[in-house]
Structure 1
Amino acid sequence: MADTVKKILLVEDDRQLSDLVTDFLTSEGYHVKQEFRGDTVAKRVELFSPDLIILDIMLPGKDGFAVCRDLRPTFFGPILMLTAKGTDFDQVLGLEIGADDYVIKPVEPRVLLARITALLRRGELPNQSQEIGEISYGHLQINRASRKVTLKDENVDLTSQEFDLLWLLAIKAGEVQNRDYIYKAVVGREYDGLDRSVDVRISRLRKKLFDDTETPFRIKTIWGQGYLFVPDAWN
């Protein structure tokens, strides 16, 4: 396969649905491998090295939440949860354990394709961010090329969208970034006024960067406006 062809691992135990999604994504130029059990995903990821994983929740062997949680220490590509469950609790839980996005079945193929395209647009942030390779604030270092973050010389493991969100805030340090801008730049779609995915990722970033979750001083919430990265809070 050519290097430009993106590889997708589809984890879905409904074989008819899996075949349909695989055929569609293959016709769109993706290289797709199928997996039908949760407890065999880790080995397949190791062998296949996918660029993106589509992960169902209700799986034999191990459910999708457990799979996502177990993958996150070593897999840093996007994980898209594909689920028949539509409750807010399930969506937020998926994001909290490291999923990058979710779609609720049944999903239109073009909607799924749009989500995949947005997730694979990793690091493509607008304007001057393309020209900057590394940012440092006190003990925090962020390297865009390697997508590596260190704080006090310790590695900080981030998902793809957590990194993109941190980079976006850091290159605009001292400026409030509203949700509309963040969703377009990081999530890849318009903010609908209900989606909580960015709020969840901000919360995860704060925990990983040792910010105060009750009274944040590194990544502040500016109520009614958005989020503010504080440049002098990293010493």
Structure 2
Amino acid sequence: MRTVMVVEDEPLMRELIADYMKGEGYFVVEAKNGAEALDKFKQTPADAVVLDVMMPYLDGFGVCQFLRRTSNAVIVIVTAKSEEPDKLHGYQLGADDYVTKPFSPKVLVAKVRALLKRAGTGGETDTVVIHRIEGLEIRENSYELMVDGKQEDLTAKEFELLLYLYKNRNFVQSREALLNGVWGYEYDGDIRNVDAIIKRLRQKMGRYAGLIQTVRGSGYVCRVRS
């Protein structure tokens, strides 16, 4: 059973989200503030975290930043803040998706379910699919990236973006094409989320970061020699 942590300081909202998650068969851990969330996460690591931003003691951005340093759990930020800079900041810290209040609980559950499904494909098939580029190994089934033999921890979206660029290698992809290909046509977030994830991805690729090139005015391309 997958575990979802719901971090929300408003009791009614927290209970509503938790009830919908339980209805989908998830084991739910609730936290009423950021500090409590980190304590509970250490005890019960979650597969996904539904995270409010405006909370006492430690806000959602702080929780997101800490979790992303130590975990690849799916992180969906839920907040009343709808300004683009706030959304971009969440993505830069490693959030996988963003839902603005008021929202449909069913939509939130669907987003969490889709993200978990993508992040949990490893082990569903015995076929091992490995793509090699120089000293990189992209292990498609297990969502793993090996850099010179060392595993680098990627979030689900970082891995999916890398895989999409690789499978469309040597063809320039606009930001809109990447959003549609990785997030889906229903995604309503900031297009600059692509830039934030590309930046994090390059850092994790180390000396191979140059394989993902920026094409000014167009987008990005994974350059691979034939």
TM-score, normalising length from structure 2? Answer: 0.84
**Which residue number in structure 2 is paired with residue 229 of structure 1?**
222
- Contact kept in structure 2, 1:118 and 1:187, CA below 8 Å: no
| Partner of residue 173 from structure 2, selected from 174, 177, 180 | 177
Rounded to whole Å, the distance in 2 between the matches of 1:196 and 1:117 is 24
Q: Which stretches of structure 1, 4 residues or longer, exceed 6 Å deviation after superposition?
A: none
* 1:79-132: CA deviation from partner (whole Å, max 9, x where unpaired): 00111111111111111111111111111223212322332231599xxxx966
Distance 1:53 1:196, change over 3 A: same
| Partner of residue 34 from structure 2, selected from 27, 33, 38 | 38
Point out the structure with the larger helix share. 2
Distance 1:193 1:92, change over 3 A: closer
The 5 Å alignment of 1:113-132 reads: 113-122=109-118
Offset at 1:15? 0.7
Offset at 1:56? 0.9
Offset at 1:13? 0.7
**Which residue number in structure 2 is paired with residue 109 of structure 1?**
105
- Contact kept in structure 2, 1:11 and 1:54, CA below 8 Å: yes
* 1:198-222: CA deviation from partner (whole Å, max 9, x where unpaired): 232122212332479xxx8421234
How many positions carry a matched residue from both structures?
222
Distance 1:211 1:135, change over 3 A: same
Distance 1:85 1:13, change over 3 A: same
SS at match of 2:102: coil
Q: Partner letter of residue 229 of structure 1?
A: C
Structure 2: runs of 5 or more not aligned: none
Question: % of aligned pairs identical?
Answer: 35
Distance 1:123 1:179, change over 3 A: farther
Rounded to whole Å, the distance in 2 between the matches of 1:168 and 1:159 is 14
SS at match of 2:70: coil
Distance 1:193 1:41, change over 3 A: closer
| Partner of residue 187 from structure 1, selected from 176, 183, 187 | 183
Identify which range, 217-226 or 23-32, moves more after superposition. Answer: 217-226
**Which residue number in structure 1 is paired with residue 163 of structure 2?**
167
Offset at 1:152? 3.0
